[in-house]
Amino acid sequence: MDNNTPKAFVLYHSYWPLIKDLSNEQLGLLLRAIYNHHMGDGEVRLDPVTDMAYRFIRSQMDRDTLKYENKRASCSLAGKASGLKRRASRGQRNERPLNSLNEDERNERPLNSLNEDERNERPLNSLNEDERNERPLNSLNEDERNEPRNREDNTIDVDVDADADADADGNGPRQDYVEGCSPDINNTDFILYYEILYFRNICSPLEETRKFIAYYTENQWTLERGSKLDTLSKRVGRARKWLPNGKTEYTKRVDPRFLKMWSKIYEKAKKLSVAPNILKLMLDENIRIEKDTRNSYGTHHIIVKPALSEYLNNASEYTDIYAGYIKEAGIQEVYVTSINHRKE
Per-residue tens of pLDDT for the chain, all 344 residues: 566 678 888 999 999 988 999 999 999 999 999 999 888 888 899 999 999 999 999 999 889 888 888 888 888 888 887 777 776 666 665 556 656 666 666 666 665 556 656 555 666 555 655 555 555 555 555 555 444 444 333 333 343 333 333 333 333 332 332 333 333 333 457 888 899 999 999 999 999 988 888 888 888 888 888 888 888 888 888 899 898 877 777 888 999 999 999 999 999 999 998 888 898 999 999 999 988 877 666 788 999 999 999 999 999 999 999 999 988 888 888 889 887 655 44
- Which pTM was predicted? 0.47
The end-to-end CA distance of the chain, in Å, is 93
Domain assignment present for residue 60? The answer is yes
Go through the chain and tell me how many residues it has. 344
Q: Domain end: 31, 57, 86, which one?
A: 86
Q: pLDDT at position 38, please? A: 87
Domain assignment present for residue 213? The answer is no
DSSP run (H or E) holding 215: helix 205-218
Question: How far is Cα 244 from Cα 88, in angstroms, rounded to an integer?
Answer: 55
Question: How far is Cα 30 from Cα 41, in angstroms, rounded to an integer?
Answer: 14
Domain assignment present for residue 70? The answer is yes
Q: pLDDT at position 70, please? A: 85
Residue partners of 260: CB distance under 8 A and separation at least 6? 325
- Decide the pairing of beta strands 288-291 and 299-303: antiparallel
Q: pLDDT at position 220, please? A: 87
Q: pLDDT at position 159, please? A: 39
Q: pLDDT at position 192, please? A: 86
Q: Domain end: 86, 101, 126, which one?
A: 86
- CATH number of the domain where residue 324 is located: 3.30.300
Q: pLDDT at position 311, please? A: 93
Domain assignment present for residue 329? The answer is yes
User: For the chain, what is the largest distance between any 2 Cα atoms, rounded to a whole number of angstroms?
Assistant: 114
- DSSP for 42-57? ------HHHHHHHHHH
Domain assignment present for residue 130? The answer is no
Q: pLDDT at position 132, please? A: 58
Question: How far is Cα 281 from Cα 305, in angstroms, rounded to an integer?
Answer: 7
- Is-contact 159 175, C-beta < 8 A? yes
The sign of the dihedral angle between the CA atoms of 20, 23, 28, 33 is negative
Q: pLDDT at position 197, please? A: 92
What's the number of domains the chain is made of?
2
Domain assignment present for residue 112? The answer is no
Domain assignment present for residue 27? The answer is yes
Type of residue numbered 188: T
Q: pLDDT at position 79, please? A: 80
Q: Domain end: 66, 86, 106, which one?
A: 86
Number of H helices, E strands in the chain: 13, 3
Domain assignment present for residue 264? The answer is no
Q: pLDDT at position 198, please? A: 93
Residue range of the domain that includes 282: 275-337
Instruction: Write the burial class of residue 63 (CB in 10 Å: 0-12 exposed, 13-18 middle, 19+ buried).
Output: exposed
